[in-house]
Amino acid sequence: MDIELVSSYEELSLKSKDFIIESIKKKNDLLLCAASGDSPTGTYQLLASEFQKNRELFSSLRVIKLDEWGGILMNQQGTCESYLQEHLIRPLQIPESRYIGFNSHPDNPDEECVSIQKKIIEAGPIDLCILGLGSNGHLALNEPGEFLQPYCHVAELTISSLRHSMTTGMESKPAYGLTLGMADIMNSKRILMLVSGIKKKEIVKQFLAQKISANLPASFLWLHPNVVCLIEKDTMEH
Protein backbone atom coordinates (compact mmCIF):
# COMPACT_ATOMS: atom_id res chain seq x y z
CA MET A 1 0.00 0.00 0.00
CA ASP A 2 1.28 3.45 -0.95
CA ILE A 3 0.45 5.73 1.99
CA GLU A 4 0.95 9.46 1.61
CA LEU A 5 0.37 12.02 4.33
CA VAL A 6 -1.00 15.35 3.13
CA SER A 7 -1.01 18.63 5.03
CA SER A 8 -4.58 19.68 4.30
CA TYR A 9 -7.92 18.66 2.82
CA GLU A 10 -7.14 20.90 -0.15
CA GLU A 11 -3.91 19.01 -0.84
CA LEU A 12 -5.70 15.67 -0.46
CA SER A 13 -8.34 16.78 -2.99
CA LEU A 14 -5.77 18.08 -5.46
CA LYS A 15 -3.63 14.94 -5.33
CA SER A 16 -6.63 12.65 -5.71
CA LYS A 17 -7.96 14.73 -8.62
CA ASP A 18 -4.59 14.46 -10.36
CA PHE A 19 -4.53 10.70 -9.73
CA ILE A 20 -7.98 10.27 -11.30
CA ILE A 21 -7.13 12.49 -14.29
CA GLU A 22 -3.96 10.51 -15.01
CA SER A 23 -5.95 7.29 -14.80
CA ILE A 24 -8.51 8.58 -17.32
CA LYS A 25 -5.73 9.68 -19.67
CA LYS A 26 -4.38 6.12 -19.64
CA LYS A 27 -7.84 4.59 -20.25
CA ASN A 28 -10.49 6.95 -21.59
CA ASP A 29 -13.39 4.58 -20.90
CA LEU A 30 -12.25 4.12 -17.30
CA LEU A 31 -14.83 2.50 -15.01
CA LEU A 32 -14.73 4.66 -11.90
CA CYS A 33 -16.41 3.46 -8.71
CA ALA A 34 -17.44 6.57 -6.80
CA ALA A 35 -17.90 6.96 -3.07
CA SER A 36 -20.09 9.60 -1.47
CA GLY A 37 -19.51 11.68 1.65
CA ASP A 38 -17.28 14.48 2.86
CA SER A 39 -13.89 12.98 1.94
CA PRO A 40 -14.25 12.96 -1.89
CA THR A 41 -16.30 16.18 -2.27
CA GLY A 42 -13.31 18.43 -2.89
CA THR A 43 -11.94 15.95 -5.42
CA TYR A 44 -15.19 15.92 -7.38
CA GLN A 45 -15.34 19.72 -7.38
CA LEU A 46 -11.86 19.83 -8.91
CA LEU A 47 -12.86 17.22 -11.51
CA ALA A 48 -15.81 19.45 -12.44
CA SER A 49 -13.38 22.33 -13.00
CA GLU A 50 -11.22 20.08 -15.19
CA PHE A 51 -14.30 19.16 -17.20
CA GLN A 52 -14.83 22.81 -18.10
CA LYS A 53 -11.27 22.94 -19.47
CA ASN A 54 -11.24 19.61 -21.29
CA ARG A 55 -14.67 18.05 -21.85
CA GLU A 56 -13.35 15.53 -24.33
CA LEU A 57 -11.26 13.86 -21.64
CA PHE A 58 -14.44 12.73 -19.86
CA SER A 59 -16.40 11.76 -22.97
CA SER A 60 -16.09 8.00 -22.38
CA LEU A 61 -15.75 7.90 -18.58
CA ARG A 62 -18.04 5.34 -16.90
CA VAL A 63 -19.19 5.63 -13.29
CA ILE A 64 -20.59 3.13 -10.82
CA LYS A 65 -22.07 4.09 -7.46
CA LEU A 66 -20.30 2.42 -4.55
CA ASP A 67 -23.25 2.17 -2.18
CA GLU A 68 -26.62 3.65 -1.23
CA TRP A 69 -28.91 4.26 1.70
CA GLY A 70 -31.92 1.98 1.33
CA GLY A 71 -35.61 2.54 1.89
CA ILE A 72 -35.66 6.24 1.04
CA LEU A 73 -36.57 7.99 -2.20
CA MET A 74 -33.79 8.57 -4.73
CA ASN A 75 -34.34 12.33 -4.92
CA GLN A 76 -34.32 12.84 -1.15
CA GLN A 77 -31.49 15.02 0.08
CA GLY A 78 -28.80 12.87 1.66
CA THR A 79 -29.01 9.86 -0.64
CA CYS A 80 -25.82 8.83 -2.38
CA GLU A 81 -27.73 9.35 -5.63
CA SER A 82 -28.51 13.00 -4.91
CA TYR A 83 -24.92 13.53 -3.79
CA LEU A 84 -23.35 11.96 -6.87
CA GLN A 85 -25.77 13.69 -9.23
CA GLU A 86 -24.85 17.05 -7.70
CA HIS A 87 -21.10 16.56 -7.41
CA LEU A 88 -20.13 14.17 -10.22
CA ILE A 89 -22.75 12.92 -12.67
CA ARG A 90 -24.26 16.24 -13.76
CA PRO A 91 -21.01 18.27 -13.59
CA LEU A 92 -19.21 15.71 -15.79
CA GLN A 93 -22.31 15.18 -17.97
CA ILE A 94 -22.29 11.40 -17.51
CA PRO A 95 -25.33 9.96 -19.37
CA GLU A 96 -27.41 7.06 -18.06
CA SER A 97 -25.70 4.75 -20.55
CA ARG A 98 -22.39 5.29 -18.71
CA TYR A 99 -23.72 5.17 -15.15
CA ILE A 100 -24.55 2.19 -12.92
CA GLY A 101 -26.21 2.83 -9.59
CA PHE A 102 -28.40 1.24 -6.95
CA ASN A 103 -32.03 2.33 -6.73
CA SER A 104 -32.40 3.55 -3.15
CA HIS A 105 -36.04 2.49 -2.95
CA PRO A 106 -36.37 -0.79 -4.90
CA ASP A 107 -39.41 -3.04 -4.69
CA ASN A 108 -37.07 -5.92 -3.90
CA PRO A 109 -33.67 -4.92 -2.42
CA ASP A 110 -32.14 -8.37 -2.94
CA GLU A 111 -33.12 -8.39 -6.62
CA GLU A 112 -31.66 -4.90 -6.97
CA CYS A 113 -28.34 -6.23 -5.69
CA VAL A 114 -28.45 -9.15 -8.15
CA SER A 115 -29.13 -6.68 -10.97
CA ILE A 116 -26.21 -4.43 -10.02
CA GLN A 117 -23.89 -7.43 -9.68
CA LYS A 118 -24.76 -8.51 -13.24
CA LYS A 119 -23.99 -5.01 -14.50
CA ILE A 120 -20.61 -5.06 -12.76
CA ILE A 121 -19.78 -8.37 -14.44
CA GLU A 122 -20.81 -6.97 -17.82
CA ALA A 123 -19.04 -3.61 -17.47
CA GLY A 124 -16.13 -4.50 -15.21
CA PRO A 125 -13.78 -5.00 -13.72
CA ILE A 126 -13.69 -1.65 -11.94
CA ASP A 127 -10.60 0.24 -13.07
CA LEU A 128 -10.40 2.67 -10.16
CA CYS A 129 -12.37 2.55 -6.91
CA ILE A 130 -12.58 5.70 -4.79
CA LEU A 131 -13.12 4.93 -1.11
CA GLY A 132 -13.43 6.73 2.17
CA LEU A 133 -12.64 5.25 5.58
CA GLY A 134 -15.76 4.88 7.69
CA SER A 135 -15.56 6.10 11.28
CA ASN A 136 -16.20 2.51 12.39
CA GLY A 137 -13.80 1.07 9.80
CA HIS A 138 -16.48 0.16 7.29
CA LEU A 139 -15.69 0.10 3.59
CA ALA A 140 -18.65 1.28 1.53
CA LEU A 141 -21.49 -0.19 3.65
CA ASN A 142 -19.62 -3.38 4.42
CA GLU A 143 -20.08 -3.10 8.17
CA PRO A 144 -17.83 -4.58 10.87
CA GLY A 145 -18.92 -8.02 12.05
CA GLU A 146 -18.09 -11.70 12.27
CA PHE A 147 -17.93 -12.05 8.49
CA LEU A 148 -17.98 -9.96 5.33
CA GLN A 149 -19.95 -10.54 2.14
CA PRO A 150 -18.18 -10.76 -1.21
CA TYR A 151 -20.75 -9.31 -3.60
CA CYS A 152 -23.52 -6.72 -3.83
CA HIS A 153 -25.81 -7.15 -0.87
CA VAL A 154 -28.35 -5.61 1.47
CA ALA A 155 -26.52 -4.43 4.59
CA GLU A 156 -27.82 -4.03 8.11
CA LEU A 157 -26.63 -0.59 9.14
CA THR A 158 -24.79 0.02 12.40
CA ILE A 159 -25.69 2.88 14.73
CA SER A 160 -22.41 4.51 13.72
CA SER A 161 -23.36 4.49 10.04
CA LEU A 162 -26.84 5.82 10.79
CA ARG A 163 -25.13 8.83 12.38
CA HIS A 164 -23.28 9.59 9.14
CA SER A 165 -23.27 13.26 8.14
CA MET A 166 -25.28 12.41 5.01
CA THR A 167 -28.22 11.13 7.08
CA THR A 168 -28.44 13.97 9.60
CA GLY A 169 -30.89 16.05 7.57
CA MET A 170 -33.06 13.15 6.42
CA GLU A 171 -36.72 13.21 7.42
CA SER A 172 -36.64 9.44 7.85
CA LYS A 173 -33.53 7.34 8.44
CA PRO A 174 -32.44 4.59 6.00
CA ALA A 175 -33.89 1.16 6.70
CA TYR A 176 -30.87 -0.68 5.30
CA GLY A 177 -27.88 -0.24 3.05
CA LEU A 178 -27.16 -1.36 -0.51
CA THR A 179 -23.50 -1.88 -1.23
CA LEU A 180 -20.84 -3.45 -3.39
CA GLY A 181 -19.27 -6.36 -1.54
CA MET A 182 -15.67 -6.86 -0.52
CA ALA A 183 -14.80 -8.98 -3.56
CA ASP A 184 -16.27 -6.33 -5.87
CA ILE A 185 -14.03 -3.74 -4.23
CA MET A 186 -10.95 -5.99 -4.03
CA ASN A 187 -11.32 -6.96 -7.69
CA SER A 188 -10.80 -3.31 -8.67
CA LYS A 189 -7.58 -2.82 -10.60
CA ARG A 190 -6.62 0.21 -8.51
CA ILE A 191 -7.98 1.67 -5.29
CA LEU A 192 -7.68 5.23 -4.04
CA MET A 193 -8.67 5.73 -0.41
CA LEU A 194 -9.15 9.23 0.96
CA VAL A 195 -8.93 9.73 4.71
CA SER A 196 -9.88 13.08 6.19
CA GLY A 197 -11.55 14.39 9.32
CA ILE A 198 -10.21 14.80 12.83
CA LYS A 199 -12.85 12.41 14.20
CA LYS A 200 -11.14 9.48 12.49
CA LYS A 201 -7.96 9.48 14.56
CA GLU A 202 -8.71 6.25 16.41
CA ILE A 203 -9.87 4.27 13.38
CA VAL A 204 -6.85 5.49 11.37
CA LYS A 205 -4.59 4.22 14.14
CA GLN A 206 -6.30 0.82 14.01
CA PHE A 207 -6.12 0.72 10.22
CA LEU A 208 -2.40 1.50 10.17
CA ALA A 209 -1.74 -1.38 12.59
CA GLN A 210 -2.18 -3.69 9.55
CA LYS A 211 -4.17 -6.27 11.50
CA ILE A 212 -6.67 -7.75 9.07
CA SER A 213 -10.06 -8.42 10.59
CA ALA A 214 -13.72 -8.51 9.59
CA ASN A 215 -14.23 -6.17 12.53
CA LEU A 216 -12.30 -3.58 10.51
CA PRO A 217 -13.36 -4.11 6.88
CA ALA A 218 -10.97 -1.45 5.57
CA SER A 219 -8.06 -3.54 6.86
CA PHE A 220 -8.58 -5.92 3.93
CA LEU A 221 -7.10 -3.26 1.66
CA TRP A 222 -3.70 -4.37 2.96
CA LEU A 223 -4.21 -7.49 0.83
CA HIS A 224 -4.73 -5.53 -2.39
CA PRO A 225 -1.68 -5.08 -4.65
CA ASN A 226 -2.45 -1.55 -5.87
CA VAL A 227 -3.79 0.84 -3.23
CA VAL A 228 -2.95 4.50 -2.83
CA CYS A 229 -4.05 5.92 0.51
CA LEU A 230 -4.02 9.70 1.04
CA ILE A 231 -4.29 10.61 4.71
CA GLU A 232 -4.81 14.12 6.01
CA LYS A 233 -2.17 14.49 8.72
CA ASP A 234 -4.65 15.96 11.23
CA THR A 235 -6.19 12.49 11.50
CA MET A 236 -2.90 11.16 12.88
CA GLU A 237 -1.88 13.81 15.40
CA HIS A 238 -2.57 13.11 19.06
Give the active site residues.
67, 136, 138, 143
CB hemisphere CA count around 100 (13 angstroms): 26
Nearest Cα residue to 40 out of 161, 136, 166, 157: 166
Nearest Cα residue to 91 out of 39, 29, 41: 41
- Cα 199 off chain centre by: 19
How many other CB atoms are found less than 10 A from the CB of residue 220?
17
Residue type, 202: E
Contacting residues for 129 by C-beta, under 8 A, at least 6 apart: 32, 33, 66, 185, 188, 190, 191, 192
